Amino acid sequence: MTILVTGAAGFIGATLCKRLLHDGHEVVGLDNFNDYYDPQLKHDRVTDVQQYALEQNKPNFKLKKLGLSDKDGVEQLFKEFKPTAVVNLAAQAGVRRSLQDPTPYIESNIVGFTNILEACRYHNVGHLVYASSSSVYGANTDMPFSVHKPADHPLSLYAATKRANELFAHSYSHLFNIPTTGLRFFTVYGPWGRPDMALFSFTKAILNGETINVYNNGEHQRDFTYIDDIVEGIVQVIANPPQGNPNWSGKNPEPASSTAPWRLYNIGNSKPVQLMTYITALEKSLGIAAKKNFLPLQPGDVPATWADTKDLLVDFGYVAKTEVAAGIEQFVAWYKKYYSQKH
């Protein structure tokens, strides 16, 4: 297939591009290389993908620098490459930043996503897979979080934009018969990760002898999911566009499916881990004890996440396989190698 990956210079996007190339697909990457965090890391991820393609004799990777909010640019991209499937991972990320500066979230996550939907509508795309987020569960406390229960009380603008993506996708699936699948990611971590995520920032601080901020007094629980497990799930989903659910009823509307070719799935490890346990595993991997500054729960944060992933198991046989300690070791090995090459 020819697969368009938006956010191709991002953490998940770059890793997915390598896997799709490995599997023999033609991959078109799109990214705007914004400065939400160090753009050099994004460029280095792309270089890593390009080197992989060269080494493996897989010359089927093209990259376009483009923002999703550029409607004409997105339209031209679809005209030129005619993607069979689209994986939309491009978004303005970060729960806390959305409290201070909402505009980029609207431009990328709402306007940009609509541009992708419109392009899929007019260019006969066979399947749109897009990144949603565990943050859509917001004020829900009934765990594990299930796609079969409502998620209508987001606690941040970022979460609200992700929930909006799910609803926009349903409208397009219903009106124009575009198969769409939303994947609610749960705290992704691993090599090439984002500097604003806890594992990256903790590792940097601990190695520099600096104090780490531990929010919610360390009582956070997160369903930490290793990057390779996330990518495996995406790949399985791409190849299987959803069908309409013939048993769906408007009298008792089931939230994760529809009469339209539209589905929602959680993708996570299904094993919530206490933040302090996560930090302890990192300390062990680094061989250094962290200096900790305990702080209260931050606005927009949720105290716990836990994914019910039974639907992915039933529909695709998917199970996340990587234990947190092993995943952290892989990240630390990558981090040390990457930054040793920078000096």
- The SS3 call for residue 182 is strand
The dihedral formed by the CA atoms of 177, 150, 88 and 259, expressed in degrees to the nearest 10: -10
- The SS3 call for residue 239 is coil
Instruction: Give residue 146's Cα distance to chain centre.
Output: 18
How far is the CA of 154 from the CAs of 116, 146, 179, 280, in angstroms? Answer: 23, 15, 25, 30
Helices within 23-152 (DSSP H only) = 39-55, 71-81, 95-100, 103-105, 113-122
Instruction: Give residue 290's Cα distance to chain centre.
Output: 28
How far is the CA of 69 from the CAs of 30, 37, 77, 158, 280, in angstroms? Answer: 12, 19, 13, 17, 41
Length of the chain: 343
Which of 105, 158, 189, 226 does the annotation list as catalytic? Answer: 158
122 belongs to the catalytic site: no
Active site positions, annotated = 158
